[in-house]
Amino acid sequence: MPYTVVYWNRAAADVYEVIRSEMPVGWHLVTLEGETQEGWRAQLRDADFVIVADWAITAEELDAAPKLRMVQHQGVGHERIDKDALKARGIPLALCPAGTTVGVAEHTILLILAVYKRLVVADAKLREGVWLQWGLRSVSFELTGKTLGLLGFGRIGQAVARRAYAFDARILYHDPYLHQAPPEAAAWDATAVSFADLLRQSDILSLHVPATDQTRRCMSTPQFEQMKRSAILINTARGTIVDEPALIKALETKTIAGAGLDVFEQEPVKPENPLLKMDNVVLTPHISAGTVDALRQKMQSVFANLQRFAAGRPIEDRVV
């Protein structure tokens, strides 16, 4: 049976083509046209399924989709979806962990190296005609021998640990929901510590926890003050984990030495955000899992789950 799938996010045409290439034969993909919320909602009218990346889904969207049978997230961050409204309609919501781990882990290592090697400064100055062959040596560092602290040691935190171990980094982690160390941790010499010890000992603190009420702004002034003044913060998880004004102050006052950020409290970042003017910060626009490899893997998993639902089989990674 053919089904109508609405992609409830705006994307480029080449992204839509990747999505279509992974769809079951006969299914129809609706991509949003127009520039208004009302116009987009009108296109939900015939949706059997909705795929969402990072847009909100509210009761208003659900009211506009009378035929909707299931919502499938292409990632894992579902804080902007009205789950109570879904429950009231009996519409399931499923997540898609597939296609995220490798991209985020690689991007975490990328940001660490970019901050440590002052990559953005070196590139920008070179383009301006300034040759900093010697100018960055006293403020550039190597990952080898440094202590990498991981706040969260799930699939992504472990993937970062595996990669950092290849750089000969010392690995610590704190995860209050992990009741026993994963078998691989010993192979990476990864050691579980308290949150306070993680803050005090880490040269690099990398965040890998979900956005919840418990983790909201769990990195704020008291936490930054416990870190080494030479430490850097890496966030490829969720922007709400970090108290951004407190981070800005910590960077301005040199309470910590730098940061690499892929996520922010408000996205897109406003032009007046002080982070944009700091040369000890490397910023990327929420792209850690934004590769074509990840997108293909995600869509394969997404459509496999929708087909399970259509066939009356249990779906995977169900939230509602």
Question: What tokens appear for 191 in the block?
Answer: 């050691």
pLDDT at residue number 296: 97
Domain 4-99+291-310 in this protein, CATH class: alpha beta
Question: What stretches in the chain show pLDDT beneath 70?
Answer: none
Half-sphere exposure at residue 313, Cβ-oriented, CA atoms within 13 angstroms? 7
Is residue 286 part of the annotated active site? The answer reads yes
CB atoms within 10 A of CB 71: 26
**Which residue, among 317, 298, 310, 311, has the nearest Cα to 102 in the 3D structure?**
298
Catalytic hit among 45, 162, 217, 286? 286
Question: Tens digit of pLDDT for each residue in 263-289?
Answer: 999 999 999 999 999 999 999 999 999
pLDDT at residue number 1: 79
Architecture of 101-283 per CATH? 3-Layer(aba) Sandwich (3.40)
* 120 contacts: CB under 8 Å, gap ≥ 6: 114, 279, 282
Asked if 198 and 172 touch (Cβ cutoff 8 Å), the reply is yes
Asked if 8 and 57 touch (Cβ cutoff 8 Å), the reply is yes
pLDDT at residue number 114: 98
Going from N- to C-terminal start, the domains of the chain cover 4-99+291-310, 101-283
Catalytic hit among 73, 118, 170, 238? 238
Is residue 238 part of the annotated active site? The answer reads yes
Q: Which amino acid is at 102?
A: V
DSSP code, position 167: T
Is residue 184 part of the annotated active site? The answer reads no
Topology alike, domains 4-99+291-310 and 101-283: yes
Q: Is the peptide bond before 24 cis (omega within 30 degrees of 0)?
A: no
Q: Is the peptide bond before 268 cis (omega within 30 degrees of 0)?
A: yes
Catalytic hit among 17, 184, 252, 267? 267
pLDDT at residue number 179: 87
Question: Tens digit of pLDDT for each residue in 62-116?
Answer: 999 999 999 999 999 899 999 999 999 999 999 999 999 999 999 999 999 999 9
To which residue do tokens 């795929």 refer? 51
Buried b (16+ CB within 10 A) or exposed e, 272-311: ebeeeeeebbbbbebebbbeeebbebbbebbbebbeebbe
